Amino acid sequence: MDAAVGLDFGTTNSALAWARREPSPAAGGSELARFASDQGPTPTFRSVLYFDRGEDGRAPLTTSAGPGAIERYLASEEKNGRLVQSLKSFLASRLFQSTRIFGRAQRLEGLIGDLLRPLREEAEAGLGAPIRRAVVGRPVRFVNAAEAADEQLALERLRAALHNAGFRDVVFEYEPVGAAYHYESALDRDELILIADFGGGTSDFSLLRVGPSFREPGRRVESILGNAGVPVAGDAFDGKIVRHLVAPRLGRGAEFRSFFDRVLPVPSWIYVHLERWHHLSFLKSPKTLQLLLDLRREALEPERIEALLHLVDRDLGFLLFRAVEAVKRALSSHEEARFRFEHEDLAIEEPVTRAAFEGWIGEELEAIAGCVDGLLAASRVAAGEVDRVFLTGGSSFVPAVRRIFEERFGAERLRFGGELTSVASGLALRALEEEAA
């Protein structure tokens, strides 16, 4: 193969890029793989799987991944399939070993392998060569990783999943370091930069020196001053929108009459799952569906539980996710917006202000700010010494997130770009450097 490959497996979106060795590594630059979709070729591959048994529920089980999974899901009127997303968020969780989909046990490593295999195969068609080696991004801190052993478990699972997908030789690199390679490719001078990479499950930061001097062999190790991460990002922001705008309409805070004629609250754990995209699809289990049917029968406001049952039974998590993303984007450019979600008889429409949203995510914003401050302190670097701050990832559009960096570094030092693809592009350049070493 005449190219080095970088893979960014994301919680919400994935991407793959390659950097060719010819005509010369000095030419620099990387090229993104393109994936087929109804809207035409796209450089991002949605990190979702769809399991389908046909509208009658009796056809053989089929599995689709990426854009194709979304298209099959949207084309299914009855939503008899199962859409599984945010698999990356389970990698460090010892509680998740496997799940049953249509009666068949599916291990996490197998699910991720099923997701990344078609990504690799489609990328191979664009490259014109087999892909077996790659530098693969990893977060500085995995979601649910409480200690070093959890981080190791996540890496072992991810390596096994990549092997299942056909990747035989893998080197892991921090995702913000990948973004730094992307940023550096256009530099003609040395800079001290802070990379802020906001994914679906984690926010990761790297402080490093980049530029012509640090492209020289042997100088990369000394260029990295520090890395830090926090398991807070876009999914957590989405969860707060669900909690405040959606869950109350679906029974959060409602009550039911128990067998002993006591009035009790509807179990709150249901709504904790509702707020987490990677848990939402697993509510559609026979046990949970039966619980919701029982709650509907005994609820003081059965119409609210009926709405929740409709959402879960019809597997509408992706449509809800799309509505949440839409209002979040609207609040990035407007002070007010309206949340809208509709499917058959279920309709939710609520006004929301940017100020309210920022209040809901205040705890998450403090965690991000604290992580950045901790990285600067641990690296013994003052904010004024940082030449540039490169923000990438979907949540970099959120005004409250940008203010964290504006307040510390000044708006004039902030740079943006490649929000969904910069990590993959940089990882390909990192792979080229890896093979040249």
DSSP codes joined into one string, 17-83: EEEE-SS-GGG---EE--B--TTS-BS-EE-EEEEE--TTS-SPPEEEETHHHHHHHHH-SS--SEE
Q: How far apart are CA 381 and CA 375, in angstroms?
A: 9
Burial of 1 (0-12, 13-18, 19+ CB in 10 A): middle
What pLDDT is attached to residue 219? 67
Determine the length of the chain. Answer: 437
What pLDDT is attached to residue 58? 63
Q: What is the pTM of this model?
A: 0.89
State which H helix or E strand residue 353 sits in.
Answer: strand 346-353
Burial of 56 (0-12, 13-18, 19+ CB in 10 A): exposed
- Do β-strands 48-52 and 82-85 pair in parallel, antiparallel, or remain unpaired? antiparallel
Q: What is the pLDDT along the chain (437 residues), one digit of tens a residue?
A: 679 999 999 999 999 999 987 644 444 579 999 999 999 999 999 999 999 876 555 666 889 999 999 999 888 866 678 889 899 999 999 988 888 888 888 999 999 999 999 999 999 999 999 999 999 999 999 998 999 999 999 999 999 999 999 999 999 999 999 999 999 988 889 999 999 999 888 999 999 999 988 877 666 667 889 999 999 989 999 999 999 999 999 999 999 998 888 999 999 999 999 998 778 877 888 899 999 999 999 999 999 999 999 999 888 888 999 999 999 999 999 999 999 999 998 999 999 999 999 999 999 999 999 999 999 999 999 999 999 999 998 899 999 999 999 999 999 999 988 788 999 999 999 999 887 76
What pLDDT is attached to residue 285? 84
Q: Is 5 helix (H, G, I), strand (E, B) or coil?
A: strand
- pLDDT tens for residues 230-285? 999 899 999 999 999 999 999 999 999 988 889 999 999 999 999 987 788 778 88
Structure tokens at 246: 């959606």
